[in-house]
Amino acid sequence: MTTYDPNNIFAKILRGELPCEKVYEDEHTFAFMDIMPRADGHVLVIPKNPSRNLLDADPQDLERAIATVQKLARAVKAGMNADGITLQQFNESAGGQVVFHLHFHILPRWEGVSLRPHTGAMAAKEDLQRHAQAIRAALK
């Protein structure tokens, strides 16, 4: 297994070197809007401790991350008035992982609405802000 790269995009976001639309943060985890969302309200949850993926993560970091994933999934579903949630987590290139910092995708889903393809198209900043605001309000 390859070692963790401290210059991956999510590590840079955690250090404040790159901007993001933050949704939630606690001592151990960080959640923000995906800038290339496959659904409106697509949120990413990452542990603050470095790990490439599920395969090398400390079990305690996994426990903390999944607790945040559950909290955020409830808020995403409520804040986006979604019918359900899809949770995705990829490991290594062959498994579909693109950014090598452990992360979980929370995608709100609506009956009859397909996920958008992963085209690399960035969402408008205003849309990300509006969706984040709705999700943050649902956290309260």
Find out whether 9 and 17 touch, Cβ atoms under 8 Å. Answer: no
**Residue found under tokens 């970091």:** 61
* Residue 28 is a catalytic residue: no
Q: Could you give the CA distance from residue 87 to residue 39 in angstroms, rounded to a whole number? A: 12
Catalytic residue (choose from 28, 42, 101, 103)? 103
Name the nearest CA neighbour of 134 among 29, 14, 42: 42
Q: Could you give the CA distance from residue 62 to residue 139 in angstroms, rounded to a whole number? A: 21
Tell me the catalytic residues.
103
